[in-house]
Amino acid sequence: MLARHLLSRRAKFIHWNAARLYSEGVRQLNTVGEEDLAHFAKILPESCILSTLPPKPTATNDELAPYNTDWMGKYVGQASTVLKPKTTQQVSEIVKWCWERRIGIVPQGGNTGLVGGGVPLKDELLLNLGGMNKVRSFDPVSGVLVADAGCILEALSEHIAPHHHIMPLDLGAKGSCMIGGNVATNAGGLRLLRYGSLHGTVLGLEVVLPDGTILNQLSTLRKDNTGYDLKQLFIGSEGTLGIITGVSILTAAEPQATNNIILALPSFDNVQPLYTKVKRHLSEIMSAFEYFDRASYDLAIKHGHGKALSAEDVEGAECFVLVETSGGKREHDEQKLDELLETLMEAEEPLINTGVLSSSPAQFASLWAIREGITESISKEGKPYKYDLSVPIHAFKDVVDITREHLRSKGLLREDAVKQVMGFGHIGDGNLHLNIVADRFTPEIQAALEPFIYELVASYKGSVSAEHGVGVMKAHALHYSKDATSRALMKRIKDLFDERGIMNPGKVLE
């Protein structure tokens, strides 16, 4: 069999910006051919192979489109074949074959990533982990959960809920994203402030390395100081070092009481003093402090996420924060929140206009729905340019305003180009989500946004990726946040694991 070369003339670039994404590594790889497919058929049952390849296609292009297209509809690959293994052994055999044949592989979980990491640059093999969806064990005493990488985050929450435990992470995409994808992206989300990052809560991993070897580090120990902590390398590696097939994670005891409140602020300037005050007042029971500007609020409500606050409550509000408490005693926590609200409202120079305190589980969910629904409502409104940035809290609004003015100065702030520029995010983590909602993706808007935004972030000594990762979107911008020495070391680590460059080529490192 003659493996088809990825640089085949028949190759068509679908994504308008794809040209610069092709690294040397991708060019040297082969793609799936007839002989490969015949081999995969020995490893997997027919139902786990979707392929458009002749002579016996098992799927149509339309059926492969959801796997080839990212959540935003911005990055579109051309994989001819999607494999859906059910066991680690199957993953290992597939990867071993690809290693020998130098076939590029893109691991994929729920495909909710926002940096184009989970779809092929071109026609690499797509390895979707969705078929590996079994909980392997849960210990209600230690709270340690061991699960296949393809388990959906929400399903894991439901699995441990009867044992009064919660997952240490939560995000708007929980109904689709998978725990392997969460670990691969080092997802942050809404609970990071309380439970810390996955670098702390992931206790062990099972990983299929690029040559097919299974690395079994699925430890359930909280303490293990026996040399280099290899699993850390895979957390946030975005599928470039291996395929995560199993995850051991420390879940948290379910709080006895959770409450939330939305505070409407007349000015962004009040956010920092408010954060300081709320932290001091609520101390150990504060579990989230989320920020969204007026445009984000209006959009979430417009698209039906959560119940609108009363006109009186939102009048004159420039922005909002959502504060969540998770504690041991409902009455105690409610009293603390009531007192906080009272103190804030009665201050001589109030930091807030008003506050809406949830008083039932339905209201609690509705207030969260506003915050969690922002990402989805942006996608419904138009084509999103998403920048997930770490910047000092005081700079959140400046970054949004400066970007908006920059686009205005370029004549791009108009209905048929950029419709809105908005900011929301996790104040407690210094993580701003800057979103630019456009009528469509165009090279002109792209050129106006980059490198402008990255330079702006660098001027604050921030990070070009706080929690979404690098993927394909930011591979060229890594140098804004990692110096040459760090990038060289990253490259050496990549080469050590994957000298043939088959794992998620062109992602993270150019």
Q: Binders of ligand FAD among 274-303, rule CB under 6 A?
A: none
Residue 130 is a binding residue for ligand FAD (CB under 6 A):
no
Cis peptide before 140 (omega within 30 of 0): no
CA dist 218 → 144, 159, 181 (Å): 11, 19, 16
Shortest distance, position 114 Cβ to ligand FAD, whole Å: 5
What is the DSSP track for 244-280? EEEEEEE-EEPPSEEEEEEEEES-GGGHHHHHHHHHH
Residue 88 is a binding residue for ligand FAD (CB under 6 A):
no
The residue at minimum Cβ distance from ligand FAD is 181
Residue 112 is a binding residue for ligand FAD (CB under 6 A):
yes
Which residue is it, tokens 């088809």?
4
Residue 180 is a binding residue for ligand FAD (CB under 6 A):
yes
Q: Are 305 and 377 in contact (CB under 8 A)?
A: yes
Task: Tell me how many residues contact ligand FAD (CB under 6 A).
Answer: 38
User: Which pairing describes strands 105-108 and 81-83: parallel, antiparallel, or unpaired?
Assistant: unpaired
- Give the nearer residue to ligand FAD in terms of CB position, either 375 or 390: 375
Shortest distance, position 418 Cβ to ligand FAD, whole Å: 21
Instruction: Give CA–CA dist 324/337, Å, rounded.
Output: 10
- Give the nearer residue to ligand FAD in terms of CB position, either 111 or 353: 111
Q: Site for ligand FAD (CB under 6 A): which residue of 160, 193, 244, 456?
A: 244
Q: Site for ligand FAD (CB under 6 A): which residue of 25, 85, 104, 110?
A: 110
Q: Site for ligand FAD (CB under 6 A): which residue of 504, 506, 509, 510?
A: 504
Q: Binders of ligand FAD among 457-476, rule CB under 6 A?
A: 467-468, 471
Shortest distance, position 290 Cβ to ligand FAD, whole Å: 10
Residue 194 is a binding residue for ligand FAD (CB under 6 A):
no
Residues in contact with ligand FAD, shown as a per-residue x/- string from 160 to 179 under the rule CB under 6 A: -----------xxx---xx-
Shortest distance, position 113 Cβ to ligand FAD, whole Å: 3
User: Which pairing describes strands 383-390 and 431-438: parallel, antiparallel, or unpaired?
Assistant: antiparallel
Q: List phi, psi (to 5°) of 418.
A: -95, 120
Shortest distance, position 204 Cβ to ligand FAD, whole Å: 14
Give, as one character, the DSSP assignment of residue 411: T
For the record, the structure tokens of 103 come out as: 């076939």
* Closest among 509, 496, 468, 501 to 105, alpha carbons compared: 501
Helices (H), 247-395: 271-282, 294-302, 311-314, 330-346, 361-372, 374-381
Residue 236 is a binding residue for ligand FAD (CB under 6 A):
no
- Give the nearer residue to ligand FAD in terms of CB position, either 184 or 309: 184
Instruction: Give CA–CA dist 207/229, Å, rounded.
Output: 14
End-to-end CA distance of the chain: 30
- Give the nearer residue to ligand FAD in terms of CB position, either 189 or 327: 189
Residue 375 is a binding residue for ligand FAD (CB under 6 A):
yes
Residue 187 is a binding residue for ligand FAD (CB under 6 A):
yes
Task: Specify which residues 252 forms β-bridges with.
Answer: 166
Binding site for ligand FAD (CB under 6 A): 71, 106-114, 117-118, 129, 149, 171-173, 177-178, 180-182, 184-185, 187-189, 238-239, 243-244, 375-376, 467-468, 471, 504, 507
